[in-house]
Structure 1
Amino acid sequence: MWPTHPPAPESAARYRERGAWRDRPLGGYLTRAAAVWPDALAVVDGDRRLTFADVDRQATALAAALHARGIGQDDVVSFQLPNIAEAVVLFQAVLKVGAVANPIVPIYRGHELRFILGQAQTNIAFVPGDHRGFDYPELYRRLRTELPGLRDVVVVGGGSGAEGTTSWDEFLTLAGPDPAATVRALPDPDPDQVCLLLYTSGTTAAPKGALHSHNTLGFENASLVQQFGLNERDVIFNPSPVTHVTGVNCALILPFLLGAPVVLHDRWDPKTALRQITHERASFMIFSTPFLTDLLAVAEASDVTTPTVRHLVCGGADIPDELARRATRRLGLVTRMYGATEGPSVTASGRLDPAGVRLRTDGTPLAPTEVVVADDAGEPVGPGVVGEVLWRGPDTCLGYLDATLNAAAFTADGWFRSGDLARFDAHGALRIEGRIKDIINRSGEKISTHEVENLLGAHPAVAEVAVVAGPDERTGERGCAFVVTRPGCDLTLAQVREHLSAREVATRKFPESLFLVDSLPYTPSGKIKKFALRDWLRDRASALGVTVRAMEEGVVRER
């Protein structure tokens, strides 16, 4: 059994009474779509186009192959795949066998993978071949020597042919002569059963594995349909990684609930994205503000509009008012949403909301999700007062795989402590003001400063180190490392990157600015004054009239 932190019985009963929890296994949506709209377009992956019948047939064959390898309920199937059709097929196959899908972002390397695959006790992993110049099969070959539970590694697409790996086509030969009969004989999963294990980095050094059930994800996607008035005539454009919570919902689940196609966009390129949106007549998308900035710049430069787009939903970073105004005029209606891996859609604004709510707040709670802003004692505060955001609702995760984390993350009565600071306005709309959690929010990717500090602290030239978020006009925030070097030692940004690369750390976690200082500021109790470092970065940029990105990216000495 999975160690969950389920909602209180009265809350679960209320969710069922209100129809928020429909008690339907998620795999049933593909079965229905394939029966009702068999020839309708389901997935666009470059030149490849799959109908709902195609996805159902391929997922059934893959599910039968997984079953033949002993994968069933409670087994973990990890995948570190880009935005490709096989990721959609795989997720649906995992649902068919009642296993637990564990998407892992492609940027992770050995450092993160050893922890995730080991803690999840992954039995089988699906990886790309040589992707973006990196040899995933070879990495997993080495990992298998350290993780005896990792029995199978299946390679999607061309690769190095690393020892001990199996190709996608070869694995499918295990499906047998009648995969449909094999899958029909499998028991339906309990809708309260865990079906998704998704790791999120926060303030801790190690990623945290959030647990979602068929019911929590079912409500999440149903709430998107209701909030934005989606239907089978919509076309979803998805540039978010299918290994992030937004991509999981928008690419792997929502199309099958709606009977609407998803257009996959893998490596972000705004020119290609604009061409896909116009050619495929996309109408709905969720992404972070940097994506919107890039897309608008290309559209304005080429004088292109996107009249089919009904909703551009942004989360993960503030949206400047002028950007939102220009994007709404040229691309489509811009709205905001607030959530996290633990609760993907907590608040949102919509088409009928006033511009002030749509563009300058993060929207109102999506009922029956409850949201409060609380003081340090956990007591709700009034409108205009800043406090920590707490929420509980039908799409709130069931807790973490490491159950010892639940006590700090949830109150006794089931409220999730977000670590985000916010205030409610007089109209009941939420405005995020900052974070208690010490993380870097880089284009929506949350990076633990504590983890980076621990890694940098092992460099022989480093005596003391503090990593904080600095302003960045392109990504919102960037990693800035302040280092006190050991006597007689020097350090460059290139050496920092070499040190982290040797430890197989995801490149997105590498600091982008390095400041060598004589000493770090400390409080009387011995804690580093990180707020002082953040203030210095902000004020320095303000005084110079430029952002940190415009400054020298190498070593800047402050003596």
Structure 2
Amino acid sequence: MWPTRPPTPDLAHSYRESGHWRDQPIGHYLTRAASLFPDAVAVIDGDTRLTFADVDRDATTLAAALHSAGIGADDVVSFQLPNRAEAVIVYQAIMKLGAVANPIVPIYRGRELRFILGQARTSAVFIPATYRGFDYAAMYDQLLDDLPHLKKIVILGDRGERGTDERMTTWTELLDSAPAEAAKVVAALPHPDPDQVCLLLYTSGTTADPKGALHSHNTLVFENLSMIELFGLNENDVIFNPSPVTHVTGVNCALTLPFLLGAPVVLHDQWDPVAALDKISRDDASFMIFSTPFLQGLLDAAIAEGRPTPSIRYIVCGGADMPDDLTRRATERLGTVVRMYGATEGPSVTAGNRWDTAQLRTRTDGRVLAPTEVIIVAPSERPVEPGSVGEVLWRGPDTFLGYLDPSLNAAAFTEDGFFRSGDLARFDDTGAIHIEGRIKDIINRSGEKISTHEVENLLSEHPAVSEVAVVAGPDATTGERGCAFVVTHHAQDLTLEDVHEFLTGREVAKQKIPESVFVVDVLPKTASGKIQKFALRDWTRNRTDLPPQMVGVSLHAAHEK
């Protein structure tokens, strides 16, 4: 059924022989945790605290109810849920069924949902009745005619007058429909094959068209076990998760890792850095993975509040470019901060940890996490010399199995199974990697290639700059020009002369200095904090029409040559 591109037989055999693939489905780890320490806290959601036994019981009941509704192995069950305890229950119930989990970020609306739910042929979907003032039940009611394969839409909350279709039900109604002996029903289900697809996760939208990435039980279990080993995690740790549970980071940290680790996760929804500090302090959170905007906000709040964070052992940052200076300052103030490089297609490819030198931790994107293999290649796909920039290719036990659209796989993989990331990087003489941006993030100015990542890293040190993104825009003379989109502190202006003076003081080549500076109130981002540069590039080509991704982006000032 699934158009997978699994590792070669030799690679798969080596992953098993070395113990990297454990050949256990994800549901096994919840069952084990509930048996070994049933009364230990697994999920903290505000005042709600669920033990491992609670999660196992509720997930079993939900799995039995879905099975009775005709949802089974290989069916896709989607959920467009915020960071709530119910999302954990839904995910674990899907794993018990042997079905395929399809998390969908809450910001998506009708256009994206028709594409994702249609391509995935989703059988059931879980949604909030309302969230952040938006009526999800009413939206799905409008979508039903376009999605005839949907058997159930399950609403968390009161349906009210919305949703008259018989396929719509509520969370409570579905759980009440479960058979009396739910545990026996679920125990009788076929044991999921650890190599089968269990997660369909659409890329988070830094390109215009999302792509559905397929992961197996083995790839996800390895990913989480490798995090436990790399960071020395144990049952005394407390995971803090502000990342959306519908993003690969949330799927791992909130929905999967607690049950392999035997430690609780603290869910944080609707990002507020002061509220995040409160939760970290209250629950002694020690480990967290999130993107740069979360780190900047947490650092600013800790400084403003004068709050120490003694429980934090690790803050792992990935998913968005991180200025070197932010890594250093956050480590000094919050706790050990390390960078991680990965993607939906392979969540952790490189990283640092606390035993690495300060140089590696704060000024590189870490080292390759064996047994993952990384090569950096020229356009010919021949490896480049050390220190030279090229495209990052990788393969490893947590590399995804391919895209749901099989036509995308030939371009995504080499013949020997390396994934073509589309990212640019170089290795330094210590073996650490430096991510230089995306292939599309190169500015071709009169034939000279300029890395936007380098310019962003330098501009982020300007005292007026809160966030910055640099993209290539059209130029009648040079072909392309550098266009800097800047969010400033306190909405102050930043002129082209300011940028020129600052970068000249950093001894930057004149050709690298942006020729357009746009001061905006926000940058267009995905739910996980990645800047949607394609939207910025599109706008530079047609400045009259804002693409959907840039709704809400107000232009305060424009300075151009």
Normalised by the shorter chain, which TM-score bucket? 0.7 to 0.9
- Structure 1 CA distance for aligned equivalents of residues 476 and 485 of structure 2: 15
Residue pair 1:290, 1:474 contacting (<8 A) in 2 also: no
2:396 equivalent in structure 1: 393
C-alpha displacement of 1:174: 2.0
Spell out the pairing of 1:461-480 with structure 2 (5 A cutoff).
Answer: 473-477=465-469
C-alpha displacement of 1:173: 1.7
Cα deviations by residue, 1:123-170 (Å, 9 ceiling, x for unpaired): 111001111010001111111111111221100124553222211000
Spell out the pairing of 1:125-164 with structure 2 (5 A cutoff).
Answer: 125-160=125-160, 161-164=162-165
Q: CA RMSD in A?
A: 2.5
Which of the numbers 427, 432, 442 marks the counterpart of 2:430?
A: 427
1:214–1:523: structure 2 CA closer, same or farther, 3 Å change rule? farther
1:380–1:50: structure 2 CA closer, same or farther, 3 Å change rule? same
Q: Where in structure 2 are there 5+ consecutive unaligned residues? A: 443-458, 487-493, 503-516, 523-553
1:549 aligns with 2:520: yes
1:200–1:539: structure 2 CA closer, same or farther, 3 Å change rule? farther
Q: Which moved more, 1:313-322 or 1:78-87?
A: 313-322
The amino acid across from 2:144 in the alignment is R
Which of the numbers 182, 186, 195 marks the counterpart of 1:183?
A: 186
C-alpha displacement of 1:231: 0.6
Residue pair 1:130, 1:158 contacting (<8 A) in 2 also: no
- Structure 2 CA distance for aligned equivalents of residues 475 and 272 of structure 1: 22
- Structure 1 CA distance for aligned equivalents of residues 252 and 211 of structure 2: 19
Spell out the pairing of 1:244-259 with structure 2 (5 A cutoff).
Answer: 244-259=247-262
2:317 equivalent in structure 1: 314
Residue pair 2:485, 2:519 contacting (<8 A) in 1 also: no
Residue pair 1:135, 1:159 contacting (<8 A) in 2 also: no
Query: Runs of 4 or more off by more than 2 Å in structure 1?
Result: 157-162, 201-206, 316-326, 471-480, 520-524, 533-541, 543-552, 554-559
1:213 aligns with 2:216: yes
- Structure 2 CA distance for aligned equivalents of residues 543 and 366 of structure 1: 39
C-alpha displacement of 1:555: 7.9
Cα deviations by residue, 1:87-146 (Å, 9 ceiling, x for unpaired): 000000000000000000000111111100000000111001111010001111111111
The amino acid across from 2:469 in the alignment is E
Residue pair 1:65, 1:174 contacting (<8 A) in 2 also: yes
> SS where residue 2 of structure 1 aligns?
coil
C-alpha displacement of 1:15: 0.7
Spell out the pairing of 1:38-49 with structure 2 (5 A cutoff).
Answer: 38-49=38-49
- Structure 2 CA distance for aligned equivalents of residues 35 and 408 of structure 1: 45
1:321–1:437: structure 2 CA closer, same or farther, 3 Å change rule? closer
Q: Which moved more, 1:545-554 or 1:324-333?
A: 545-554
1:267 equivalent in structure 2: 270
1:295 equivalent in structure 2: 298
C-alpha displacement of 1:317: 2.8
C-alpha displacement of 1:534: 2.9
- Structure 2 CA distance for aligned equivalents of residues 476 and 13 of structure 1: 45
Residue pair 2:327, 2:362 contacting (<8 A) in 1 also: yes
1:240 equivalent in structure 2: 243
C-alpha displacement of 1:333: 0.4
Cα deviations by residue, 1:223-256 (Å, 9 ceiling, x for unpaired): 1001100011100000000000000000000000
- Structure 2 CA distance for aligned equivalents of residues 214 and 57 of structure 1: 21
Tell me the percent identity. 63
The amino acid across from 1:102 in the alignment is N
1:61–1:345: structure 2 CA closer, same or farther, 3 Å change rule? same
Please give the TM-score of this superposition, normalised by the length of structure 1: 0.83
> SS where residue 197 of structure 1 aligns?
strand
2:450 equivalent in structure 1: none
- Structure 2 CA distance for aligned equivalents of residues 179 and 309 of structure 1: 40
Residue pair 1:317, 1:476 contacting (<8 A) in 2 also: no
1:401–1:550: structure 2 CA closer, same or farther, 3 Å change rule? closer
- Structure 1 CA distance for aligned equivalents of residues 310 and 152 of structure 2: 46
C-alpha displacement of 1:382: 2.2
The amino acid across from 1:101 in the alignment is A
- Structure 1 CA distance for aligned equivalents of residues 429 and 3 of structure 2: 40
1:534 equivalent in structure 2: 483
- Structure 2 CA distance for aligned equivalents of residues 523 and 218 of structure 1: 52
Residue pair 2:377, 2:393 contacting (<8 A) in 1 also: yes
1:432–1:49: structure 2 CA closer, same or farther, 3 Å change rule? same
- Structure 2 CA distance for aligned equivalents of residues 427 and 407 of structure 1: 33
C-alpha displacement of 1:70: 1.0
The amino acid across from 1:189 in the alignment is P
The amino acid across from 2:163 in the alignment is A
- Structure 1 CA distance for aligned equivalents of residues 292 and 159 of structure 2: 34
C-alpha displacement of 1:318: 3.4
2:475 equivalent in structure 1: 521
The amino acid across from 1:284 in the alignment is F
Residue pair 2:387, 2:426 contacting (<8 A) in 1 also: yes
